Structure 1
Amino acid sequence: MDFRFTEDDHTFRTHARTWLDTHLAETPAPTPRAWERELGQEGWIGLGWPEDGGAGYGNRTATLTQQVVWAEEYARSTAPTRMGHIGENLLAPTLITYGTEEQRRRHLPPVARGETLWCQGYSEPGAGSDLAGIRTTATPDGTGAYAVTGQKIWTSLAGDADWCFVLARTEPGSTRHHGLSFLLVEMDQPGRIEVRPIRQMTGTSEFNEVFFDGARAAEVVGGEGNGWAVAMGLLALERGVSTLAQQIGFAQELDQVVAAAKESGAAEDPVVRARLVRQWAELVTMRRHALRTLGTTGDPGAPSVAKLLWGGWHQRLGELAVQVRGPAGAVGPRPWGPEHPYELDAAQHLFLFSRADTIYGGSDEIQRNIIAERVLGLPREPR
């Protein structure tokens, strides 16, 4: 596609940058929920959603290039990490594609206003990358709804979410991709839903275990038994404009690693210097790939290629971030003990967290299988 920014795009960029600078200066450390509402009040949530005949869902419409502009400017600013990503970029496009108009009217406006947060109930113990092996069940409860029972794991932001979209087995005795449904579950159900934070080696707890014990789900997206198609459609939507914003963050991290290499003298080592140049060249390649595939649809390999590219790249950057600092890379930013708990600096956090990059969101092995089987037409692996 011809991906050049127009004069209108440059005007839009100036407006977005000015708004971000002004509002972040007025409220330098807003709470995550307050910041979501502030974005929603100005229509910055859901830029890519359709107008729906002019009515819209409370969002600001924008062209594809303007969506990229906003994502880039947001990533370049010092704005807080978004808590509404899952609702805006995963749930909303899925409802727009597979949901009913009633579902869209109920759920999209609160997301656009920054009032409702969502989490994703996909992975389970024993069914992570192999999502077709899920065992969570949903049975009719006699009221036209379902009673959901089972366990989900690695559920980002579950402790803050108001709703969860859950992939569950609605057909008793079904296996693999069959008999699954995509359900919408309200999280405020005491005694029926329990969220347990998972403490990671970085010391943070973005991920959670979620236990459902007869939790009520009154809505199915895409029809009963069609959950696999809806779930796979959602995963394809996951790697779009947000990928370009992610790459802006990667570029900022790379700049910090280069600066650390210069400060420590590691940049004088030709091997280290070559690795830094390679990281830069690969990042440029990833951006070109993202731009080339941004306007395409129906290509099952594009999301998998993107995930393979950035997962390994970011992991190697984390290794470099610690390596270029030499022995200092293994030492915390301050003395530690009972009165001073050990803390990770940015480079150490990058190194530890990026170890998971080739696993979460679909492991590298799964992505290679998708490319081999669905794009290249190679025979499936024997089970």
Structure 2
Amino acid sequence: MDLNFTTQELAFRQEVRDFVATALPADIRHKVINGLVLERGDYVRWQKILHAKGWAGPAWKTDFGGTGWTTVQQYIFEEECAAAGAPRTIPFGLKMVAPVIMQYGSPKQQDRFLPKILAADEWWCQGYSEPGSGSDLASVKTRAVRDGDRYIVNGQKTWTTQAQYADWIFCLVRTDPEAKAQRGISFLLIDMRSPGVTVRPIITMDGAHEVNEVWLENVEVPVENLVGEENAGWTYAKFLLGHERTNIAGIGIAKRELARLKRLASIETKNGKPLIKDPLFASRIAQVEIDLTALEITNLRVLAAEAERRAPGPEASILKIKGTEIQQAITELLVQVAGPYALQLRRDAMAAGYQGDPVGPFYSVPLGPNYLNMRKLSIYGGSNEIQKNIISQMILGL
């Protein structure tokens, strides 16, 4: 197994690096590099720039308008974009529902939805979790009852990320309450503008409106919006979650944030000594960097296996666990760099263009909110505890 990049892959890396350096808007880069709040328009603007270049769908087949890149090229692209300060791709459309529609959707669904996802003309959110169904998605209770050429949907979804922006939501719904849990679930595409859809904000502990409750009350959904077969939605959900867990690892993002940590820790404090000169703090940074390097090698092994058309085993769960732990560890160290100034929770001011405070350095403003926000990483996409169960089952047979 060769984990070194080929000459062609290194040339591709340079091509991506050169393009992002010239095409990425400076205001967006400033926000990302400094951990400031990104708005919906920032994500859409960058996606449209990529779409004009023909790079909007790195993991998509050319048949659907994608790049047709190899998994290694996709990895290089993500890493270079993260390092340059590009916004992360919002995954719900491009990386989650789109692969499901490509694999299991009808030609009509593919023609209707995929071009608009690629061009960032429609924003998607995920309707999986419910108040009583988080990691145990097989227990979803939202009902969809067939009535002629439509389904009548009733239920509640929660922790729905950026539903306040969404045009569409892909939902797991129960279509056969008598069937065994996993066999009575279907996968529906629902227009968020449908009568009966209500979005209610959930303000998280960092003061942000990122997640929501979505209520579905007698929502009418055309049968043609059913993906694949009725009651086979669990198959599609597992397919989607494999994409989500690998994406959550966020190696490129972790590398960028580690570089920011080193940069901020090198700033002289009031006593004139940068925190990175403290041996204990420096050793913690070193441990995070070692863990990140090991994770990257694991990820490259997964890519090599995919290139040889070998299905990965529990690696997706390993990447999810360790990737989220590393990202959380970096935010913890960043808070230590900021010290008491990290207590400033000023989301509204940041969103309005806040550029610093006389009582503390500019860089400290987003660190407290980011620390609090990143606590979610080990929970969503299947909690890390659930991932450990998956690993034990696949490796130890427990």
Q: Say which of 370, 381, 384 aligns to 1:350.
A: 370
Q: Say yes or no: does 1:75 pair with 2:79.
A: no
Q: Please report how far the alpha carbon of residue 107 of structure 1 lies from its aligned counterpart in structure 2 after TM superposition.
A: 1.9
Equivalent in the alignment of 2:120 = 114
Q: Secondary structure at the match of 1:127?
A: coil
Deviates more, 1:264-273 or 1:250-259: 264-273
Q: Please report how far the alpha carbon of residue 81 of structure 1 lies from its aligned counterpart in structure 2 after TM superposition.
A: 4.1
Equivalent in the alignment of 2:33 = none
Equivalent in the alignment of 1:208 = 212
Q: Say yes or no: does 1:176 pair with 2:181.
A: yes
Q: Say which of 40, 49, 57 aligns to 1:38.
A: 49
CA shift digits 1:206-232 (9 cap, x unpaired): 211111112233322231111111101
Q: Secondary structure at the match of 1:160?
A: coil
Residues 124 and 151 of structure 1 are in contact (CA less than 8 Å); yes or no, is this contact kept in structure 2?
Answer: yes
Q: Please report how far the alpha carbon of residue 153 of structure 1 lies from its aligned counterpart in structure 2 after TM superposition.
A: 0.8
Q: Please report how far the alpha carbon of residue 194 of structure 1 lies from its aligned counterpart in structure 2 after TM superposition.
A: 0.9
Cα distance in 2, alignment partners of residues 70 and 200 from structure 1: 31
Residues 200 and 214 of structure 2 are in contact (CA less than 8 Å); yes or no, is this contact kept in structure 1?
Answer: yes
Cα distance in 2, alignment partners of residues 262 and 27 from structure 1: 25
Q: Please report how far the alpha carbon of residue 166 of structure 1 lies from its aligned counterpart in structure 2 after TM superposition.
A: 0.4
Aligned counterparts, 1:132-143, within 5 A: 132-143=138-149
Equivalent in the alignment of 1:57 = 64
Cα distance in 1, alignment partners of residues 176 and 370 from structure 2: 42
Q: Say yes or no: does 1:334 pair with 2:357.
A: yes
Residues 243 and 290 of structure 1 are in contact (CA less than 8 Å); yes or no, is this contact kept in structure 2?
Answer: no
Q: Please report how far the alpha carbon of residue 344 of structure 1 lies from its aligned counterpart in structure 2 after TM superposition.
A: 7.1
Q: Please report how far the alpha carbon of residue 25 of structure 1 lies from its aligned counterpart in structure 2 after TM superposition.
A: 4.5
Normalised TM-score (structure 1): 0.86
Cα distance in 2, alignment partners of residues 153 and 193 from structure 1: 13
Cα distance in 2, alignment partners of residues 134 and 210 from structure 1: 14
Aligned counterparts, 1:290-329, within 5 A: 290-294=299-303, 295-296=305-306, 298-329=311-342
Alignment-mate amino acid for residue 167 of structure 1:
L
Cα distance in 2, alignment partners of residues 40 and 76 from structure 1: 20
Alignment-mate amino acid for residue 110 of structure 1:
K
Q: How many residues align?
A: 363
Residues 100 and 221 of structure 1 are in contact (CA less than 8 Å); yes or no, is this contact kept in structure 2?
Answer: yes
Deviates more, 1:308-317 or 1:160-169: 308-317
Q: Say which of 151, 160, 165 aligns to 2:156.
A: 151
Deviates more, 1:18-27 or 1:160-169: 18-27
Tell me which of the two structures has the higher relative contact order, counting C-alpha pairs closer than 8 angstroms and 6 or more residues apart.
2
Alignment-mate amino acid for residue 48 of structure 1:
A
Equivalent in the alignment of 2:13 = 13
Equivalent in the alignment of 1:339 = none
Identity within the alignment, %: 36
CA shift digits 1:158-206 (9 cap, x unpaired): 12222111001000334532300111112121x3111112111222212
Q: Secondary structure at the match of 1:350?
A: helix
Cα distance in 2, alignment partners of residues 182 and 209 from structure 1: 19
Residues 28 and 42 of structure 2 are in contact (CA less than 8 Å); yes or no, is this contact kept in structure 1?
Answer: no
Cα distance in 2, alignment partners of residues 217 and 307 from structure 1: 34
Q: Secondary structure at the match of 2:226?
A: strand
CA shift in 2, pair 1:376/1:119, >3 Å: same
- Over the aligned positions, Cα root-mean-square deviation in angstroms equals 2.5
- Unaligned stretches of 5+ residues in structure 2: 30-40, 346-355
Cα distance in 2, alignment partners of residues 287 and 359 from structure 1: 21
Equivalent in the alignment of 2:382 = 362
Cα distance in 2, alignment partners of residues 108 and 130 from structure 1: 29
Q: Secondary structure at the match of 1:215?
A: strand
CA shift digits 1:129-154 (9 cap, x unpaired): 111111101111222x2111111111
Alignment-mate amino acid for residue 214 of structure 2:
V
Cα distance in 2, alignment partners of residues 25 and 127 from structure 1: 40
Q: Secondary structure at the match of 1:177?
A: helix
Residues 342 and 368 of structure 2 are in contact (CA less than 8 Å); yes or no, is this contact kept in structure 1?
Answer: yes
The structure with the greater share of residues assigned to helix is 2
Q: Say yes or no: does 1:123 pair with 2:132.
A: no
CA shift in 2, pair 1:60/1:127, >3 Å: same
Q: Please report how far the alpha carbon of residue 8 of structure 1 lies from its aligned counterpart in structure 2 after TM superposition.
A: 3.2
Normalised TM-score (structure 2): 0.83
Cα distance in 2, alignment partners of residues 366 and 28 from structure 1: 35
Q: Secondary structure at the match of 2:182?
A: coil
Residues 36 and 115 of structure 1 are in contact (CA less than 8 Å); yes or no, is this contact kept in structure 2?
Answer: no
CA shift in 2, pair 1:96/1:2, >3 Å: farther
